[in-house]
Amino acid sequence: MKLNIAVLPGDGIGPEIIGQALRVTEAICEKFGHELSYEYGLVGASAIDQVGNPYPDGTHELCMASDAVLFGAIGDPKYDNNPSAKVRPEQGLLAMRKKLGLYANIRPVSTFPSLIHKSPLRADLVDGADFMCIRELTGGLYFGRPQGRSEDGDTAYDTCVYTREEVERILHLAYKYAKMRRNKVTVVDKANVLCTSRLWRQVAQEIEKQYPEVETEYMFVDNAAMQIIQWPKRFDVLVTENLFGDILTDEASVITGSLGMLPSASIGIHTSVFEPIHGSYPQATGKNIANPLATILSAALMFEYAFDLHQEGSLIRNAVAASMDAGVVTEDISLKDGKPYSTSEVGDWIVNYIKGN
């Protein structure tokens, strides 16, 4: 198979972690006989610095012409600490989601036995946790209009908007994945307060009848936030709107023991994007200490979701698990008495594992 990939390293540690994921991708393609071609594009703060636009037209054209996008991270303190900045790196991410029609963010949350000791929760609560968060990505407060501030700057407003079509397509996707897993969907909303949530619940109650083999439950977002911590193993597929999903998925990521371990896939109308859920970690830029495993696992999702190559994705996950069992990990998840490995050393080990298995 020929794989044509757009590579968007972004800011901070983005280039370092993307570099290792790309090496793993190359090793997999060599092992399984796939033809790989890729091209780099600008995004985020680096794009603003070079061309004044966090998601340039050239980058969008590259993404549209590719089969998949491997994405690093965006963000820079010089923009984070400037509330009056007119152009921000995050605007590039929102623009990419909108223009590529990336309506669903999929974040698998699962624990690694060798990392359970790093979880802030008791081992018996998190050992065996395995669920999937599906977040609607192109509607809600982040995109609703009107949005802005009053002329005197003392009043600000955001508008939360959802259409039936947006809710239907994300719910159908959630049921699709639930049927591939353990046949349970949890719809998270705030229907006791918000009109948009009442639309979500109404549509979900209609759609659930089309999937009688799947158990459907409804949960307010505040209750879901508590239950993810109290009983993370009770969930299978959790689906929710944009803002709630943004918050809940970051909360869920922490229970696994490290934010640097979880991949994500953004699925949509055009080209899908595969990225780690963590940020650009500017303090570690250029130090060769950043954890590349979430990005490498995102490459595994890319093989599976973009190219339907499940054996390839499985080998990458096995390699990551083996590196952790062997203690070949970066300083953020290394044992107290263990040697921390650099970003590139972890990449070396995983590439060698793939070549030897």
Q: How far apart are CA 263 and CA 4, in angstroms?
A: 20
Virtual torsion, Cα 244, 167, 262, 121, nearest 10 deg: 40
Question: Where are any strands of DSSP class E within the chain?
Answer: 2-10, 35-40, 68-73, 104-110, 130-136, 148-149, 156-157, 184-189, 215-220, 237-240, 263-267, 272-276
Token digits for 144?
Answer: 């609703």
- Report phi then psi at 83, rounded to 5: -65, -15
Which one from 157, 176, 222, 308 is the annotated catalytic residue? 222
Of 282, 243, 260, 284, residue with least CA distance to 44 = 282
Active site residue 190: yes
Which one from 67, 80, 127, 246 is the annotated catalytic residue? 246
Please name the residues in contact with 29: beta carbons below 8 A apart, sequence gap of 6 or more. Answer: 3, 35, 36
Q: How far apart are CA 171 and CA 238, in angstroms?
A: 10
Q: How far apart are CA 338 and CA 186, in angstroms?
A: 40
Of 215, 147, 158, 151, residue with least CA distance to 187 = 215
Which one from 99, 118, 190, 332 is the annotated catalytic residue? 190
CA of residue 26 relative to chain centroid, distance: 22
First and final C-alpha spacing in the chain: 20
Active site residue 142: yes
Which residue, chain included where needed, has tokens 């999702």? 301
Active site residue 154: no
Counting DSSP H helices and E strands in the chain, the numbers are 13, 12
Q: How far apart are CA 264 and CA 318, in angstroms?
A: 17
Of 99, 106, 98, residue with least CA distance to 143 = 98
Determine the residue type at 255. Answer: I
Q: Which residues are known catalytic residues?
A: 142, 190, 222, 246, 250
